[in-house]
Structure 1
Amino acid sequence: MTASMGGLRQVFLDRRPMLLRLLTARLGNADDAEDALQDMWIKLDGLAVQPIADPAAFLYRMAANHASDRRIAGARRTVRDDAWHGVQPDSAEQPDAERVLIARDRLRALEATIAQMPERMQAALRLFRVEERSQRAIAAELGITVSGVEKLLKRAYLQINAARDAETSLPHRPAIEGGSDRD
């Protein structure tokens, strides 16, 4: 029996219950089988119009291939999702709001300290710590010796540490100005 596209659609509709059972058995889930049948119906619209010698066998093979493709895609999705969840931090590892605010304040203080440094010191620090260049490469770029780069970096670190120490030694102010600790 040879079928055209209109005939193939009719064979699909006639064999739909059997195709659904086949897909349910292969996919292990009636909902996935329904989705696969819907995908098959849409795919039938995209097929070139040509006679098919055994339309039922064609549809069963199409269903089996579609089920295999969906199982492979599902397995890949599971592996990808498991890998993604495996690298996500636990809720206990997430910083709380207070820690985030403290870190932002420290970053602003560090940026302010760096902004007060001489330009050449800023450049050496940025090239070494941010761009991860060697001291020799920094010396060549700035036109100074490696010893000069070492001295710039040492002074930069001393300024950063002094600013950090000064900040941590400040007494903490109450959250609300003029507020009382007693209620």
Structure 2
Amino acid sequence: MDTRGGDSSDQDTDRSTAVEFVYQPTVADFEEALRGRARRSSAGRAQVLMAPLIAVVAVVVFSTLKDATLPVWIITLVLSVAATSWGAVRGLRTMARRMFSVVEPYGQCRMVADDRGAVSTGERASFTVDWTVFREYLETPGLFVLLGGDRAAGVAVLPKRGAQNPADVDRLRAILDRNLKRL
């Protein structure tokens, strides 16, 4: 995506109109993004449910091999599932903090998107991304979350609070719908 300007007279004006978001990323943004990914994508669900599932299988196998009594078996099952579920939630929070630590030095961000891609500029860095980098997106109450393809584990977080006016949220949703698969 070229942001230097140029002749766009041959392009459809509705489709080439850029939308701008200005925001300060927060840890809560990344937590919301990861929770949304865990609910709506198969990779996210697998990541969150794998540990409790392994705990159930392990308890069943070991309880069967050790001839555990039913009360011991049930208590062990409940405690192991509770512990691994808590660990999965803590893992998402830890991942959110780590993701935030990568973008925190960039400070306030300005993202401009159109049908070709997005340009994000922070206080210390900027980057340009074509929509082909992402395969799909999901929408949470406060964010647009862009998800990378099979070989790219990329996640981009675009807080709706950064919209310059309420119509910009709808315009960005339309751009994303034209270029990415919605989850």
- TM-score (norm. length: structure 2): 0.28
Higher relative contact order (CA 8 A, sep 6+): 2
Between Structure 1 and Structure 2, the one with more helix by share is: 1
Between Structure 1 and Structure 2, the one with more strand by share is: 2
Larger radius of gyration between Structure 1 and Structure 2: 1
